Amino acid sequence: MSLFSVFNISGSALNAQTIRLNTTASNLANAESVDGDPAKVYRARHPVFKTLMDTSDSDGGDSDGAVAGVRVLGIVESTTPAPKRYEPNNPLANKDGYVYMSNVNSIEEMTNMISANRSFTTNIDAMNTARDLLLKTISMGH
């Protein structure tokens, strides 16, 4: 756990936040998707973040639960029921004339996007700080 590990830690966070932004973009793009079958309609996807534990302890001893960043465990689909709408003229409508909307909550997605954006910026700042400090340390005595 030295200053160099900041690059790995913040880098893992940048990756996680990028995946989060990707799912948000996918959700917003499909916010208006419809289907006649509630099982086939697009469902909002969200990443699950998990703390990455440092298991590669060099001296084989207790690493004191030192953490080494964050990773995305997987993407889960929202189980919120898909709202249905009466659109008998829609070619995708079922025999009763209903279409099922995707269960994407646009407001939730927008706040998620802002949060991901801010976390991304913060981690970039942490990386830049670590880089500046390391460069100053390298030029020690000059």
From 49, 90, 105, 117, residue interacting with other proteins (rule: CB under 8 A): 49
Specify the residue, 11 or 83, whose C-beta has the smaller distance to other proteins.
11
Show the binding pattern over residues 70-109: x = contacts other proteins (CB under 8 A), - = does not: x---------------------------------------
CA separation for the pair 48, 76 (Å, rounded): 7
Which segment (2-10, 80-88, 91-99, 103-111) binds other proteins by CB under 8 A? 2-10
**Cβ–Cβ contacts within 10 Å for residue 61, how many?**
7
Burial 92-104 (b: 16+ CB within 10 A, else e): ebeeeebbbbbbb
Q: Which residues are CB-contacts of 66 (< 8 A; sequence separation ≥ 6)?
A: 1, 53, 54, 57
Q: Which amino acid is at 102?
A: S
Binding stretches for other proteins (CB under 8 A): 1-3, 5-6, 9-10, 12-13, 16-17, 20, 49-51, 59, 62, 64-70, 115-116, 118-119, 122-123, 126, 129-130, 133, 136-137, 140-141
